Amino acid sequence: MRLFAIADPHGNYSKIEELLKIAGKVDVVLIAGDITNFGPDEKALELFSLFEQPILAVPGNCDQRSIIDLIHNSPATDLHRKSVTIEGVRFIGMGGSNPTPFCTPFEIQECDYEESLGKMTGEKHDHKEPLVILTHAPPFGILDQVGDEHVGCKVLTDLLDIADLMVCGHIHEARGIVLSGKTTIVNPGMAALGFAAVIDIGSDTEDPNIEVTLIEAGREDI
């Protein structure tokens, strides 16, 4: 399965079509939040219209909470606090972010992360399929640094040992790929600036081979 992953477009979708051309054939689109820049919710429909593939999306902290209803009634699949399985790969999602100093619209306490994600991941070891976690916030200590401070979600860090892949965003300057144990963590970068990621998940359900390529509008060296 080939995934096209973006994060943080903040209402600027001008680079998406070029990124799709660079990516080539993809099976599923992942959107890791901050779809709009504090609204309006309807702006997200402009982004969704650019894709023919299935779309899995979670909101970011700069989206209004009401965007969940819009996603639910759009061509995209609302993955916030939900789980879906596509072609043998299980996806679970959690939007918003852990609290920030800026009192943005969609912030969630760590205990709420723990409750929601705990319910969705509790049966992971009873399943054979690969597990992908789609979030806006990064795990604490990984792709989460702002200056000298780590600002990620500690609950997400605790879940790394059961996930095969985690796709996040939120920290614009933390674009990158990190392997932590068996888990690959990807921040595709700020889509508004022309960044995305292409992620290939192998067919071995017991130990899926995950390959990630970071792509950039204006460069076609994938």
196, part of any domain = yes
DSSP assignment of 80-129, as one string?
Answer: BT-EEEETTEEEEEE-SBS--TT--SSB--HHHHHHHHHHHHTTGGG--S
211, part of any domain = yes
pLDDT band of residue 203 (cuts 50, 70, 90) is confident
Q: What is the per-residue pLDDT for 118? A: 86
The average pLDDT across 175-197 equals 98
Structural domains in the chain (count): 1
Q: What is the per-residue pLDDT for 119? A: 86
**CATH number of the domain enclosing 41:** 3.60.21.10
129, part of any domain = yes
- What predicted TM-score, i.e. pTM, was given to this entire model? 0.96
19, part of any domain = yes
Interatomic CA distance for residues 177 and 125, integer angstroms: 25
- Domain extent, residue 11, equals 2-216
What tens digit of pLDDT does each residue of 99-123 get? 999 999 999 999 999 999 988 887 5
Q: What is the per-residue pLDDT for 172? A: 98
124 pLDDT exceeds 80?
no
Number of H helices, E strands in the chain: 5, 14
Flag the least confident range among 6-15, 135-144, 155-164, 213-222. 213-222
Q: What is the per-residue pLDDT for 221? A: 61
pLDDT band of residue 23 (cuts 50, 70, 90) is very high
222, part of any domain = no
10, part of any domain = yes
Q: What is the per-residue pLDDT for 95? A: 98
* Short-list 201, 202, 196, CA closest to 220: 196
pLDDT band of residue 206 (cuts 50, 70, 90) is confident
Interatomic CA distance for residues 161 and 183, integer angstroms: 7
